[in-house]
Chains A and B, each alone.
Chain A
């Protein structure tokens, strides 16, 4: 198995799917000649040409809208939003159209669109460029919301997202692009809507995904040196949510900490905690703990920003609090 970065894994997934299926194309701001602002599509324009690697104006409404239309007409667009913060400019297309068109027309057509959006904070980009609004998108039936935390899952999930027929919000974290990991050399598909135990343990369960998965790995090793073994369940998909491994792990450890980068109120942690109480109340041995971003638009100042985002130390403390 090759060890590659998350960036390479995502790039490979798109490349392979575009090679495999002519209906697949990518569109977005600077995906073409520039090669992607995060360099994910570097080399694509020269290889696939401008018809399949389409630079767009800075106009998110029509980027997603046109992708929806192309999907209605049978193509399989990958629409890249330079950052997920700009998704708010296309919210109507994502929420009112990607998610609903198929149902509103009684299933006459499909919307096989993948919206790639980069999120996450911690890079001193200021409040409007640093958000992790994953839970917002996961609220809407009709959408699928995927957010991988490892290169292997990123590649496998993105390839699946491109091949399946429903609209997918594929949320990448900008600070994960450099993370390296083993990715199978052969054809690699990971199913959407399947959570995964990424580390086994018995003292407490950390439920997390994306960037916070990586931070949880570090926290888990430090806790292990103190004799505390946490189990880490990676959600990977926020909708449809697979609670199976989460509930199973919780029944084993009886304690859970949910770690997310987004805000706590009405967030992923709120959802997971509520479902654990609904599905496994009798297994709780301590109140379920949520660890999330502090309730503030992220400030520019480095220290303030980092203070607002969950850190490894916060995860360690949160785990100890539920023991």
Chain B
């Protein structure tokens, strides 16, 4: 029985995906769960697994094609099975056609081998030297997360090596001796990376479409910082808690208690999500990724910490899973490590709110008429006025305050 592998929906807001790279070929034996392709959504590049076992009989779309969700991308069947590809594909097209917005036809592999821009097809969609590709594969580095320092923006060996070494300093090796005029204070044009372009488009759209409003409040951090310090004294080095673990847990509990901000604006309605999945903005080379920590409301702090740590590592290594980047219902952005007093974040659509966390500062606190040393941080909530309003948002912040300033509640 022939099975159609379709462009999977990799998030509730995904309309189409770009098939970046096939990891299988026609004729391959496939087991359920095998990774078959890299698919780029407007958020990230994701490895997709097969739902079926069998032999890959046909790859329906070529690499680089943008394909609406639900549209077939490959056909799997038994080895000897005789298949009428045209009939199957035609049947599938009639059943999956979107009534309002007709899906663009996926380009058939048979018809065109190069993409329509006439520049040919770059493997993996990036310009990288063969040795850079090989190294990146060896060390699990996503080439798309790197900026190329070679000619024409090509990612070369040294770029990957720097990434491996965690270096960002591009100047440590012989740097572009062929272009000495670029040294010093000259204006340099760097190509827009794919990730940077993506962030730009999403943020522009968010800021233009969503009527943001902002509320800033100051929170006492002394208690949870003391608790963190006490807990970390009992934890192995690789499992120590981060500040954001406490923020995530407090925000999660607050969202569970006051779910109006755990929402999206749907078609003429507000969708309040059942699960509390908080996105955590992570700086990666060349941009920003939001990794998702699921079910933060009921997961123990220690599990949240472990999940977040793993997701951040994958994001920085350029190997995010589908689950890492899809399905968040609220986002936390923490710039506390950069000595930021407070900042205003742009909502990560289609969410309704984002919480921007500033640095924990040692401050003089007036307590019972006395000036005492204290620790405080500021957080700014950006919210979608179409979904909520100032009073609701303020109420949520109060609830959040209750949790973060009484951190024993985070352990219950």
Cα A41 to Cα B186 in complex, Å, equals 61
Q: Which of A228, A282, A317, A323 contacts B133 (CB 8 A)?
A: A282
Query: Is A321 an interface residue, CB under 8 A from the partner?
Result: yes
Interface flags for A270-296 (1: CB within 8 Å of B; 0: not) read 000000000001111110000000000
Interface pair A282/B134, CB less than 8 Å apart: yes
Q: Which of B131, B158, B178 contacts A320 (CB 8 A)?
A: B178
Q: Which of B131, B176, B177, B178 contacts A285 (CB 8 A)?
A: B131
Known: A285-B150, A286-B151, A286-B156. A323 touches B174 (CB 8 A): yes
Q: Which of A226, A227, A285, A317 contacts B156 (CB 8 A)?
A: A285
Cα A321 to Cα B151 in complex, Å, equals 8
Q: How far is the CB of A285 from chain B (nearest CB, A)?
A: 4
Q: How far is the CB of B124 from chain A (nearest CB, A)?
A: 14
Chain B residues lying within 8 Å of A282, measured Cβ to Cβ, are 130-131, 133-134
Interface flags for A220-235 (1: CB within 8 Å of B; 0: not) read 0000001110000000
Cα A228 to Cα B180 in complex, Å, equals 14
Cα A285 to Cα B154 in complex, Å, equals 9
Query: Is A203 an interface residue, CB under 8 A from the partner?
Result: yes
Query: Is A205 an interface residue, CB under 8 A from the partner?
Result: no
Q: How far is the CB of B283 from chain A (nearest CB, A)?
A: 28
Query: Is A132 an interface residue, CB under 8 A from the partner?
Result: no
Q: How far is the CB of B20 from chain A (nearest CB, A)?
A: 20
Task: Please report the total number of A residues contacting B with Cβ < 8 Å.
Answer: 15
Q: Which of A226, A228, A284, A317 contacts B130 (CB 8 A)?
A: A284
Q: Which of A226, A283, A323 contacts B131 (CB 8 A)?
A: A283
Interface flags for B374-408 (1: CB within 8 Å of A; 0: not) read 00000000000000000000000000000000000
Cα A254 to Cα B133 in complex, Å, equals 13
Q: How far is the CB of B318 from chain A (nearest CB, A)?
A: 19
Q: How far is the CB of B81 from chain A (nearest CB, A)?
A: 37
Q: Which of B129, B156, B174 contacts A203 (CB 8 A)?
A: B174
Which residues of chain A (234-254) have a CB below 8 Å from chain B?
Answer: 254
Q: How far is the CB of A255 from chain B (nearest CB, A)?
A: 9
Known: A286-B150, A286-B151, A286-B156. A323 touches B132 (CB 8 A): no
Interface pair A284/B129, CB less than 8 Å apart: yes
- Which residue on B lies nearest to A282, using beta carbons? B134
Query: Is B157 an interface residue, CB under 8 A from the partner?
Result: yes
Chain A residues lying within 8 Å of B176, measured Cβ to Cβ, are 323
Which residues of chain B (152-207) have a CB below 8 Å from chain A?
Answer: 154, 156-158, 174, 176-178
Q: How far is the CB of A281 from chain B (nearest CB, A)?
A: 5
Chain B residues lying within 8 Å of A227, measured Cβ to Cβ, are 174, 177
Task: Please report the total number of B residues contacting A with Cβ < 8 Å.
Answer: 16
Known: A282-B134, A285-B150, A286-B150. A254 touches B177 (CB 8 A): no
Q: How far is the CB of A2 from chain B (nearest CB, A)?
A: 39
Q: How far is the CB of A163 from chain B (nearest CB, A)?
A: 42
Chain B residues lying within 8 Å of A254, measured Cβ to Cβ, are 129, 131, 157
Interface pair B132/A285, CB less than 8 Å apart: yes
Chain B residues lying within 8 Å of A320, measured Cβ to Cβ, are 177-178
Chain A residues lying within 8 Å of B174, measured Cβ to Cβ, are 203, 227-228, 323
Q: How far is the CB of A202 from chain B (nearest CB, A)?
A: 10
Which residues of chain B (118-166) have a CB below 8 Å from chain A?
Answer: 129-134, 150-151, 154, 156-158
Interface pair A283/B177, CB less than 8 Å apart: no
Chain B residues lying within 8 Å of A284, measured Cβ to Cβ, are 129-131
Interface pair A285/B133, CB less than 8 Å apart: no
Cα A300 to Cα B50 in complex, Å, equals 69
Interface pair B177/A286, CB less than 8 Å apart: no
Which residues of chain B (296-353) have a CB below 8 Å from chain A?
Answer: none
Cα A284 to Cα B131 in complex, Å, equals 5
- Which residue on A lies nearest to B176, using beta carbons? A323
Cα A284 to Cα B150 in complex, Å, equals 12
Cα A284 to Cα B135 in complex, Å, equals 11
Q: How far is the CB of A286 from chain B (nearest CB, A)?
A: 6
Q: How far is the CB of B123 from chain A (nearest CB, A)?
A: 12
Interface pair B157/A285, CB less than 8 Å apart: yes
Choose among B133, B154, B176, B178 the residue with the greatest number of A CB atoms under 10 Å from its CB: B178
Chain B residues lying within 8 Å of A285, measured Cβ to Cβ, are 129-132, 150, 156-158
Interface flags for A295-323 (1: CB within 8 Å of B; 0: not) read 00000000000000000000001001101
Cα A254 to Cα B161 in complex, Å, equals 13
Cα A283 to Cα B157 in complex, Å, equals 9
Cα A228 to Cα B157 in complex, Å, equals 17
Which residues of chain B (195-242) have a CB below 8 Å from chain A?
Answer: none
Chain A residues lying within 8 Å of B129, measured Cβ to Cβ, are 254, 284-286
Interface pair B130/A321, CB less than 8 Å apart: no
Cα A317 to Cα B180 in complex, Å, equals 12
- Which residue on A lies nearest to B130, using beta carbons? A284
Chain B residues lying within 8 Å of A228, measured Cβ to Cβ, are 174, 177
- Which residue on A lies nearest to B137, using beta carbons? A282
Q: How far is the CB of A275 from chain B (nearest CB, A)?
A: 15
Cα A286 to Cα B177 in complex, Å, equals 14
Closest 6 CB pairs of A and B: A320-B178, A282-B134, A285-B129, A285-B157, A284-B130, A285-B131
Can you list 20 A-B contacts (CB < 8 A)? A226-B177, A227-B174, A227-B177, A254-B129, A282-B134, A283-B130, A283-B134, A284-B129, A285-B129, A285-B130, A285-B150, A285-B156, A285-B158, A286-B151, A286-B156, A320-B177, A320-B178, A321-B178, A323-B176, A323-B177
**Interface on A for B, CB 8 Å cutoff?**
203, 226-228, 254, 281-286, 317, 320-321, 323
17 additional contacts (CB under 8 A) given A284-B130, A285-B156: A227-B177, A254-B157, A281-B130, A282-B131, A282-B133, A284-B129, A284-B131, A285-B131, A285-B157, A286-B129, A286-B151, A286-B154, A286-B156, A317-B178, A321-B151, A323-B176, A323-B178
